[in-house]
């Protein structure tokens, strides 16, 4: 049996999180180490380790996650000025928690490309 990830423990209520949205299929909460003024993680309740393990049966769930991202972005006041959605996949992609998640980031003019060494006050 694989060890449960920290996100599965949040889903199961075993560790706390600052939850902003929940329904029967997914959960969204503030990232514990925000890299933007607003940095929220949106995760499916189904245990899918990464993009690479998404199956065709998950198509509807993945679409639902994006509509939830859109809803949260509007609720957080990000829709007008725009925002970024990131999904890291695997070690080279920078993934550290192996439970599929989308980073919703906004609240400032985000730097591009990601990983540039721009000072944080410029976001
Ligand atoms: P990634 O590197 O794409 O796998 O992203 C994992 C994200 O999870 C990082 O941005 C972490 O800051 C965040 N994170 C890790 N543990 C927690 C936690 N307990 N609550 C909220 N966010 C977390």
The per-residue pLDDT for 3 is: 78
Active site residue 101: yes
User: Residue 64's Cα: distance from chain center in Å?
Assistant: 13
Given 3.40.462.20, 1.10.12.10, 3.30.428.10, 3.50.50.60, which CATH number is that of 6-122?
3.30.428.10
Cα 25-31-36 angle, rounded to 5 deg: 125
Tokens of 106: 């906004």
CB atoms within 10 A of CB 23: 10
The per-residue pLDDT for 115 is: 65
User: What does the alpha-carbon distance between residue 14 and residue 27 come to, in Å, rounded to a whole number?
Assistant: 14
φ and ψ at residue 28, rounded to 5 degrees: -135, 140
The per-residue pLDDT for 113 is: 83
Residue 109 CA to ligand 1 centre (angstroms):
22
Positive or negative: CA dihedral 58, 105, 26, 10: positive
Q: Please give all residues whose beta carbon lies within 6 A of any atom in ligand 1, as ranges.
A: 6, 17, 29, 31-33, 41, 88, 94-97
The per-residue pLDDT for 41 is: 98
The per-residue pLDDT for 120 is: 57
Residue 97 CA to ligand 1 centre (angstroms):
7
Residue by residue, pLDDT tens for the chain (123 residues) are 457 999 999 999 999 999 999 999 999 999 999 999 999 999 999 999 999 999 999 999 999 999 999 999 999 999 999 999 999 999 999 999 999 999 999 999 999 987 666 555 557
Residue 93 CA to ligand 1 centre (angstroms):
14
For residue 92, the number of C-alpha atoms closer than 13 Å in the C-beta half-sphere is 1
The per-residue pLDDT for 114 is: 74
50 and 65 Cβ atoms separated by less than 8 Å = no
pTM, to two decimals: 0.94
């Amino acid at each position: 049996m694989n060890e449960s990830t920290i996100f599965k423990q949040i889903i199961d209520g075993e560790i706390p999180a600052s939850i902003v949205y929940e329904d029967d299929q997914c959960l969204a909460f503030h990232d514990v180490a925000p890299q933007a003024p607003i940095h929220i993680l949106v995760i499916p309740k189904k245990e899918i380790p990464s993009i690479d393990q998404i199956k065709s049966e998950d198509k509807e769930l993945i679409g639902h996650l994006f509509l939830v991202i859109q809803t949260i972005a509007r609720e957080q006041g990000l829709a007008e000025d725009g925002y970024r959605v990131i999904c890291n996949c695997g070690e080279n992609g920078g993934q550290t928690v192996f439970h599929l998640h989308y980073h919703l980031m906004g609240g400032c003019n985000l730097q591009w490309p990601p990983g540039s060494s721009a000072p944080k006050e410029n976001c």
